[in-house]
Amino acid sequence: MGITTIVHESSEPLIDLKIFKILGEPLYFKQGLSSTPKMLVRKTVGEKLLRVQCGLPNGFSLKVFDAFRPKKVQEKLYKKYWAELQMKNPQWNAKKLAEGTEKFVFSPYLPEIIPPHVTGGAVDVTLIDGTGNELDMGTAFDAFCPESAPFFYDIHERNPKVSENRRILRTAMEQEGFTPNDSEWWHFDYGNHIWALKSGALQTLYGEYVERFQ
């Protein structure tokens, strides 16, 4: 996906989600892909997530799996999924592997594309109940399969409860201006180029987050 909007950088700082008392489970840190367990987002994104959490029904809360992701972590994740696809499909050539990988993981190597997590404007989230248990969303986080598409269970009438849980999360996030991902029920964007393309904004709020903004 190319960028068709103006990439504007507001220089907004990154904020630790702990400040907003939003639960984070840094799975990429646990997997050895990231060097820090901190869950960072742009300040406005954090404020929006707090409003989402405060407005959730039935005592539900947010749980964040991933937020800001530096380019080096994006590269590790890209290589990891590439290797998994290569093992499952040894007959695939490099072009086919790139297409399969980039269906779920943005390439860190293309200058015209800014991976959304690299901006600090993307989050991977789910819902938990009052006892801390994750709601049934039909698939695990990072399950790169057709079932992870937000409306898969609606279209195929698989499980009404899963459809309802996904709807609650999606509606709450959209009401705060986040845009959902077409392939991953857990991924939402705000302020980056994916958000701009989907929302019709003429320019982004965030480009790639780099050290000079710290």
Q: Check residue 176 and report its DSSP letter.
A: T
Count of CB atoms situated within 10 Å of the CB of 68? 23
Q: What is the four-CA torsion angle of 39, 44, 50, 51, rounded to 10 degrees?
A: -160
Gap between the terminal Cα atoms of the chain: 28
Element (H, E) at 201: none
Q: Is 183 exposed, middle or buried (0-12, 13-18, 19+ CB in 10 A)?
A: middle
pLDDT at 206: 96
Listed in sequence order, the DSSP H helices in 56-139 are 71-88, 94-101
Q: What is the pLDDT along the chain (214 residues), one digit of tens a residue?
A: 344 578 899 999 999 999 999 999 999 999 999 999 999 999 999 999 999 999 998 889 999 999 999 999 999 999 999 999 999 999 999 999 999 988 888 998 887 889 999 999 999 999 999 999 999 999 999 998 999 999 999 998 778 999 999 999 999 999 999 999 999 999 999 999 999 999 999 999 999 998 644 3
**C-alpha torsion sign, points 150, 165, 190, 110:** negative
Beta strands in the chain (DSSP E): 14-16, 23-24, 40-42, 61-66, 122-128, 179-180, 187-189
Pick the CATH number of 14-69+113-213 from 3.50.30.50, 3.40.50.360, 3.30.70.270, 3.30.1380.10: 3.30.1380.10
| Cα(194)–Cα(188) distance, integer angstroms | 9
Q: Domain ranges in the chain?
A: 14-69+113-213
